[in-house]
Every structure is written in C-alpha cells, then in structure tokens.
Chains A and B, each alone.
Chain A
C-alpha cells in the first residue's frame, strides 16, 4: 500500500496526464504547443522516481521537484521543480499535513516560483491562479475552516484566476510575444496549477 504522499502525487499526476492534450492545446494558442506534453512526461517520471512507501512528505516533494526539474524542461520545469522543492523544504520530516502546514507549503512554493521566474501577479502566469488561491486558503483557515473546505474555496479562487488570465495581456513567457493577441486565451500554466490544487483537494477529501 503506497504512502499518502505518493497517493497524493499520483492523484496530481493522473490529472495532469489526463489533461495532457488540453494543456497542450491551450499552449498551442498562445505559446509553443508543449505544456501538457512536458508536464505529462515529468509526472510519469515523478511516479517512477518517488518512493511509494515513503512517509516523509517533505522528502517526497523534494524528490518530485528534482525529478520535474530534470525531466520537464522549458520554463515549467524550473518553476514547478522549484515549487515542489520549496514546499518540500517547509514540510521536511513531516508525516502528517495540518492546515497550517498546507498554508506554509503553498506560500513557500509561490515564493520559489516568483524568485525563479521573476514574475508578479497580473502577468498571465500560473501566479494568477495560485496567489489568489493561497490568499483565500489563508483567510479560510484563519476563520477556522478545515483543510478540505479551505482548499475547496482556494480552488474556486484559482479557477477565477484562470478566467482572469483570459482578460489580460501576457508579459512573461512566450505568450508575451503576442501582445494583445494573447487576450481571450487562458494561461496554460495557471490551468495546470489549478488542476494541481484540485487534485490535492480531491485527494484530501478522499
């Protein structure tokens, strides 16, 4: 029986792999037609490389991040790789995930992505989904919500963030070359980030 962290990574991987063509199609419209292909390749590798029995959440996430870094390529590889590694750092040694742990992990992942990608909110990137999601999550647990209901609200914010990316001009990544022509298209990275959060929520909800 695989450990919980591996099961959660499997859930994320299943969603990314199932949406491979959809993510690639989004990227075809405003980027270079490879987001789903690259992310699916990365998660196939993650599910091979991460120890299914491991209990240490941090160590497993760090391994997942290093695997994504060395298999995804493009911009998504360093960004997702960094996100998982930074989340892994704050969860090092933990075998249970509290609502506070989840908050710290999300915030560390976002800080890592911002540092690596030199991006801020409003540039039509994954940050436009995960920053509002993280803020909603923090607000919900401050009100005493449990991890699943806080994540459910966070996923709603992430979805709204994806919708928001349709309305703005890309200023980071390859979509930025399109200028105003990028309006009307949702950001593939914001979409895969939202799928990730939803998979975590679905896993924790059981």
Chain B
C-alpha cells in the first residue's frame, strides 16, 4: 500500500546547493502563480481614499447608535450638540508582516493534495506580498526583511527568502509594532496553547494577525488504516498504531478541536483565522485573508473555506 502522504521536496531547504537550484526554478513559478492568483482578487480591492485602518485623521462623522463609545471624539463632540466619531484614513504605509512556516512538517503532501503545505504557504505569502506591494503597502518578513515598500515587493521578498540560510521556526516578532498586520501562514499543528503563547504577545501590542492554516486533506480526514507507523517530520518521533482506522474518530475530534480553539481565540482577539486545504485553490484563502484585512479592526472575524 502506498503511503497516504510523504514529504515533498522542500521549497526551501537548508541544503545550499539544492536550495539554490530549487529557488532559482521554483520562486519564479511561485511568483507567476501568485500573480495569477492576485489578478483574480484585485477586482475586490477598493481605493485607498477612505476611512480605514490608519493613524491619520480622515473625517468626523456623526455617531450612530450602536457604535463603540470608545471611538467617540469627545473634543469635537464638545463643540456642538452632536456627537462625532473620528475616522482615520486608511494608512498609506500600512505595514503587513508576512510569514510562512518553514518547518519540516510543512513539507508534507498527501496523495490527495496538489501541492505541499509549504508550497501553498509560500504561494499564499508571496501572493499577499505581491498584492500588498502593488497597492503600496509596506511588507515585511520577520527575520528576513524589515518593512519596505516596493512595486516588486514579492520578487524582492522571494530573493531575500532564497538567501535565508536557516529559517527560524519561530521568528522574532518583538519589533512588530502596533497597528501592523501580520499574516501567519502555518499548519498550526502545535498544541493550541503553544500557538497562543507564541502569538499572544502580538495581541498585547495591538498587532492584528491573520492566521492562515494550511491543512493537508489527509491530516484532516485521517484516511489511514491497518498497522501504521507514523513519523513526526519535526521531532522524528515514531508512533505505531496497530489498527489506525480505530483512531480516526478520536483523532479528528482532537484535530478539529484544536482548530476550533484557535479560531475562537482569534475571534476573541479580533483576528482572523483562515483555513486553506492544499487540495483547494490558494485564491480562496487569499480572498478571505484580504477581506479580513479590509474590515475594521475589532470587527474582523474568521472565515473558513
């Protein structure tokens, strides 16, 4: 019986030679694909001259019942009998941090999936980079680049990524500042508590995060049966199940519980949580992440595909 899934050739690898070759050939592909994806999304992209996330004043507008009291501009409201809310303009140089999980577990690709998770994650990240660069946002990759704004942001990011010797599993995020957005593309297979402990400080600093879970269908449906020995690609742990099919129900429950917990947590923080399966189109997730980015902070909610 052929294995259900295996490790795909890494899209980024620590091996210098293989990495150079792979990067040279693969990254352009990714870019092409990312551009293709972006083109389908760009139509939903609105003009920037509007209120939105930003630090600059955009307009005062009358308070409407139901809006948060915290947003009332009391100084302006004190002038007359109306109550005003200060809208901010969409920040021109909004900083969006992008990060795709480079861990070995991301290399997994099952038979039912078209690409590996890492490939999908990179595609998503670079597509977002392309998207954001085109709209003039500042993009950055923690541990790789500081925020920069460039038309060819995606290429530059890809080039920078290609030179990373050993991407850290958990990048340093201390210098991500307030009002920034961060898009974290990973499989989030660590226990939810670890993920929360890792990303929790961002919420405290006011960073809005968009979590994109890239999931292989095999991970979710657990199509294994019979005597199976499972390997963890990260830790090398081994686990042998005599009759794997008997574990399926419990596993799926735990797997979905983790996702639900992360989803709920993100909702609570006003973040978004997006799930993208590698047997589905990347653009689905891209659209949803983009939509989540455009909604008001605090009102963002997770979307699922």
Chains A and B come from one and the same complex: no
